[in-house]
Amino acid sequence: MIRILECTEPLQIGGMLNREGENAPNVDAAVAEIIATVRKGGDEALRDYTRRFDGAALSALEVTPSEWEAAVRQVDDAFLAILERAKGNIIAFHEKQRRTGFIMAEQPGVVLGQKIIPLDRVGIYVPGGTASYPSTVLMDAIPAKIAGVGEIVMVTPPGKDGSIDPAILAAAKVAGVDRIFKLGGAQAVAALAYGTESVPRVDKIVGPGNLYVATAKRMVYGQVDIDMIAGPSEILVIADETANPRHVAIDMLSQAEHDRLAASFLVTTDKELAGQVQQEIARLLPTLSRSEIATHSIETNGAVVVTDTLQHAVEISNQIAPEHLEVCTDDPFALLPAICHAGSIFLGKYAPEALGDYFAGPNHTLPTSGTARFSSPLSVDDYIKKSSYIYYDKAALEAVYRDVDTFARREGLTAHAESVSSRFREE
């Protein structure tokens, strides 16, 4: 049974947050060993880990073009059409995120500017195991294509027969992925970060994964860039007395079924609604295909919080900084200006979180574990880098070189100072 708490002061909720994550022993040591082994052993180490962890004996690590095409033909036309419509929505939203460089030439003899450069090659990690996520393929690959990334390399764990879910391969085809490798876990991250005989080294790794994947991403950061360290999924629903308790309950369960560590919160001003949602959750849990996972999540990491005003509800939400925030109130746009910390915000009673997971267009790779306080959803910006450039002609430098000289000497850097002053002293 999900717990109900009463809270009129936002700071009282701190004890209900359980964000310690998984406490598997010696994960860092195990992941460090995997990374070192892959760096040394290359493809053979990858095959060995795939046998051990995925139960698949692979001769070739990469999905061949014929294998890829055959898998796509297995996917029904109706689902392919849905993938295409989702792609259109994702493109339309992410096209708005395109950056352009700029140039400044406002001072005589001075040109300053910034240029936008797409990354050469990125790696996308798509989880396998307990579920298949073609939506992750679309959300991670399409912004990379829009950014102009040179090559998109995808890794995803194979089944015991060495195959990849055809829906995953179909999504990869729709999204424009260039190469796919049958690899999962920390070993896949190591291969992308350092390269092997078959797997090319990438510049950035994006995509969610389990604790071992997240730990590996953390460890290879610096060798490559990463998007974020993703934790378990979260949802927070702000609701008033006009909300439908069944809709609220099933929206909370939509995240609880992801993971035993997922967190689902309701913050409401209506005590009667709180009780109704509690009852609906209890009624719906046994009907779910992943009932055991959702039950553990709800009972361990779920909570219904009753507060006195919607303003307090928003303050509580901002303190939690949820990955997904639903605002199921009569006037959701009235609360939007006060919402400061959330990965993605779903406004109104007909914008369930699942709409964002699959179809609406904004990205579903989002900051978790309260990191929405300082980080953002995956976007086109994640696949670019910026270089600045400076041009001064002789007259422009002559006008300012004494300032630069003085500044450099104040920092004790005489070579810096001489690098500007000597250009004029020699004359």
Give the contacts of 205 (CB within 8 A, at least 6 positions apart): 122, 123, 124, 125, 189, 192, 193, 217, 220, 224, 225, 226, 227
Element (H, E) at 236: strand 234-239
Listing DSSP states for 386-426 in one string gives: EEEEEEE-HHHHHHHHHHHHHHHHHTT-HHHHHHHHHHHHT
Q: Known catalytic residue: 62?
A: no
Listing DSSP states for 202-221 in one string gives: -SEEE----HHHHHHHHHHB
**Separate counts of helices (H) and strands (E) for the chain:** 15, 14
Helices (H), 266-392: 271-284, 291-301, 310-320, 332-335, 353-358
Question: CA–CA distance from 377 to each of 102, 217, 273, 403 (Å)?
Answer: 25, 17, 31, 42
Classify burial at 9, counting beta carbons within 10 Å of its beta carbon; exposed 0-12, middle 13-18, buried 19 or more.
exposed
Question: CA–CA distance from 380 to each of 84, 98, 152, 206, 324 (Å)?
Answer: 19, 7, 14, 12, 20
Q: Known catalytic residue: 418?
A: no
Inter-residue contact 320 to 13 (CB < 8 Å): yes
Pick the catalytic residue: 323, 326, 353, 364? 323
Backbone CA torsion sign across 17, 18, 20, 21: negative
Give the contacts of 338 (CB within 8 A, at least 6 positions apart): 311, 314, 318
Distance, in Å, from the CA atom of 39 to the CA atom of 41, rounded to the nearest integer, reads: 6
Q: Which residue type, as a one-letter code, is found at position 244?
A: N
Distance, in Å, from the CA atom of 222 to the CA atom of 208, rounded to the nearest integer, reads: 18
Backbone CA torsion sign across 315, 23, 157, 286: negative
Distance, in Å, from the CA atom of 185 to the CA atom of 304, rounded to the nearest integer, reads: 35
Q: Tell me the CA end-to-end span of the chain in Å, nearest whole number.
A: 84
Pick the catalytic residue: 324, 326, 353, 364? 324
What strand order describes the sheet that includes 225-226? 179-182, 151-156, 121-125, 204-206, 225-226
Provide the annotated active-site residues. 323-324
